[in-house]
Amino acid sequence: MSPNSTGNRLFDRPLRELGRALLFLFTAISRMRFSRLQVAETLRQVYFAGVRSLVIIVTCGFFVGLVLTLQTYDTLTRFGAGDAVSTVLALSLFRELGPVLTALLFAGRAGTSITAEIGLMRATEQLDALDLMAIDPMERIVQPRLIAGLIAVPALVLIFNVTAIVGGVFFAVFLMGNDPVTFWSNMQASVELGRDFLGGMVKAVAFGFLAAWLAVWFGWSARPTSEGVALATTQTVIATAITVLILDFVLSAFML
């Protein structure tokens, strides 16, 4: 057997899976319809995806800010550049850590529950029931969760960034006794709204879309059994982590 044909077999399944996931996404988007019910359901999903991730986002954000400041402060003071700590903190948060870490935490907290929920809906025939009631599950189940992810992740990134900066202030200003005015003015002077901050938010939107798509897709395509749903939630986390990091590299390369 030629090496080519084994190669085909190796890539055949993932490629078909990717194709089906894309087709699924296009179907979901093409059937987009905005009714009052749809908006209410989307808001409900923002609650489930966003509000319920708040605790983990705020906790992690604070400690990431704290430890990032601790480490960079220690290094920077060796070069007599301790004042630059707020610059390093804000730039690394806005451009990389905020969007990436939030997307990973979102996948673990909200993405898995979206996957499990839809997988179980399939297993318990709730999706069939919708179909039979002439309600499009794409419209009522998939779309609100996609849009909610698109809204919730950027919102969580903003909150993550603020709490991380609070963590940084806590360390640099309260524990190390640095001058707060210098801290803020150095940050302001070196962080640019358009390129650094909004560039990071572009990433946040892209990651939110990706995380929500993968979560919904793995739930939708899960085998309707306990193992099937368990496998699907694992796949959501792994696939989101890998694709977010790859996409992060691509977007960073484009933006710089």
Partner 1 sequence: MTHTEAAIELRNVTVELGGRTILENLDLVIPAGKVTAVMGPSGAGKTTVLRLITGQIRPDSGEVRVGDTRVDQLSGKALNRFRREIGVLLQNGALFTDLTCFDNVALPLREHTELPETLIRRLVLLKLQMVGLRGAAGLYPRELSGGMNRRVATARAMALDPSIMLYDEPFAGLDPISLGVSLRLIRDINHALGITSIVITHDVDEVAHLADQCAIIADRQLMASGSPAELADSDNPLVRQFMQGLPDGPVPFHYPADDLAADLLAAEKQQ
Partner 2 sequence: MKSSHQIELTAGLFLLLAIAALIFLAMQATDRGVASGPTYEVSASFSNVGGLKPRAKVSMGGVTVGMVERITLDPDTFDARVVMRISERFDNLPEDTSASILTAGILGDQYVGLEPGGSPESLRDGDTIMITNSAVVLEQLIGRYLFNTDGDEQ
Closest to 90 in 3D by CA, of 178, 184, 11: 184
Give whichever of 126 and 190 is closer to partner 1, judged by the CB atom. Answer: 126
How many angstroms separate the CA atoms of 160 and 109, rounded?
Answer: 15
Cβ at position 165, least distance to partner 2 in Å: 6
Q: What is the phi/psi pair of residue 222, to 5°?
A: -65, 145
Cβ at position 148, least distance to partner 2 in Å: 9
Q: Indicate which single residue of 66, 88, 105, 191 sits in contact with partner 2 (rule: CB under 8 A).
A: 191
In three state form, how does the secondary structure of 62-83 look?
HHHHHHHHHHHHHHHHHCCCHH
Give whichever of 157 and 244 is closer to partner 2, judged by the CB atom. Answer: 157
* Count of residues interacting with partner 2 (CB under 8 A): 33
Q: Does 43 bind partner 1 (CB under 8 A)?
A: no
Cβ at position 105, least distance to partner 1 in Å: 23
CA distances from 205 to 88, 174, 242 (A): 23, 33, 17
Q: Indicate which single residue of 25, 184, 241, 252 sits in contact with partner 2 (rule: CB under 8 A).
A: 184
Q: Does 124 bind partner 1 (CB under 8 A)?
A: yes
- Please report, as residue ranges, which positions from 33 to 72 form the binding site for partner 2 (by CB under 8 A): 40, 43-44, 46-47, 50-51, 54
Q: What radius of gyration do the chain's Cα atoms show?
A: 21
Q: Does 96 bind partner 2 (CB under 8 A)?
A: no
List Cβ neighbours of 40 (8 Å cut-off, separation of 6 or more).
none
Q: Does 243 bind partner 1 (CB under 8 A)?
A: no
Residue for token digits 């709204």? 193
Residues lying near partner 1 in the complex (CB under 8 A): 37, 124-126, 128-129, 131-136
